[in-house]
Amino acid sequence: MSVKDDIIKFCSINGLDVMGFSECRIFHELNPYFDKRKKLGLENEFEEKELDKKINPFIYMEDGKTIISIAFPYLYDNDISGKVYFSNYTMGRDYHLVLMEYMKKICTYIEGLGAKAMYFVDSNALPERYIASLCGLGFIGKNNMLITKRYGSYVFLGEIITDLVIEPDEKVEQKCGDCEICLSSCPTSAIVKGKVGINNNSNICLSYITQKKDIEDLWFEKLGGRLFGCDTCQKVCPYNKKVELSVIKEFKPYEHMKTPEIKVLMNIDNKLFKDMYKITSCGWRGKNIIKRNAIINAFIIEKVEIIALQKDTSPYIRDYYYRLLKFFKL
């Protein structure tokens, strides 16, 4: 077997069956894409501002020869629903930690072959979805999600740069065609017509809005039950209708994430957050983001003043409380 076959077999043994390989090179072809987004003011606070870090993998490994992209399917149950909800990707154990454990194993295996290997899980600015498409994992949809044949867009992505020269896989071309279901379904019109992804505005994407520190009043009613993340464009996508479910046990949803109690989340304290929510993928933003989103949704659903919040010890939470009273004219 070739080195490529050896790596594929090792990943398969560890339950990872969607992966691909691409040449490690500078992605000059993305310069116009990033330049236009910058000129249109479409970058958000989580994005890297330095262009070279977005297109040049040699910043991370000078003698890199191949980039390996690996998909981690996370969807366990496609029928979870409720008035308030967490995005599917947040329901199990924090994917950052899960992916790092798997990627460390794979890198150790590659190093055992006498090569260098460096893994990335949300730890670099490289365009992971674009790289995944180059590696043949899937195509980038109009909603900017990577869409795989077996798991749809319900995948996390990890990358490994190695100094091994490995035969690249073929890029998967865009397959959305004339479909615009995600455009018409997006609650904030963040998905825009035009060349795939280039005009999409992540600054008004509800997944981003539920995570940012400061939410403008005009978005309050748009949350519509969302506690963290959104999922609308994924739920309506035809490619997600008959997907295979994940068998990665770490992504099995916690019961309290499947059926969140808004009153519990409105009054969440440090101990409860540490024990039950910090371990998930929404934990990195801290307790008050979840608490704030729960309070906003409580106002939307109940349309009544929530007296107990007047004495909340957090000035941040109290500020949102009084803004919500004013917004809903209570």
Q: Which residues are designated catalytic?
A: 122
104, two tokens? 């460390």
> What whole-number distance in Å separates Cα of residue 83 and Cα of residue 302?
11
Dihedral of CA 158/161/165/170: which sign? positive
Q: Which residue from 174, 87, 102 is spatially nearest to 134, judged by alpha carbons?
A: 174
Angle between helices 3-13 and 95-112 (to 10 degrees): 140
Q: Which residue from 108, 100, 189, 176 is spatially nearest to 142, judged by alpha carbons?
A: 176
DSSP H or E run through 157:
strand 155-162
Counted residue by residue, the chain has a size of: 330
- Which letter, b or e, does each residue of 177-196 get, where b requires 16 or more Cβ atoms within 10 Å of its Cβ? eeeeebbeebbbebbeeeee
The answer for residues whose C-beta is within 8 angstroms of residue 19's C-beta and 6 or more apart is 8, 11, 68, 69, 70, 71, 135, 137
> What whole-number distance in Å separates Cα of residue 94 and Cα of residue 98?
7
99, two tokens? 């992916």
CB 250, CB 304: distance < 8 Å? no
The answer for residues whose C-beta is within 8 angstroms of residue 221's C-beta and 6 or more apart is 300
257, two tokens? 């994430």
The answer for residues whose C-beta is within 8 angstroms of residue 123's C-beta and 6 or more apart is none
Q: Which residue from 164, 235, 238, 175 is spatially nearest to 206, judged by alpha carbons?
A: 235
Q: What DSSP state is assigned to residue 223?
A: G
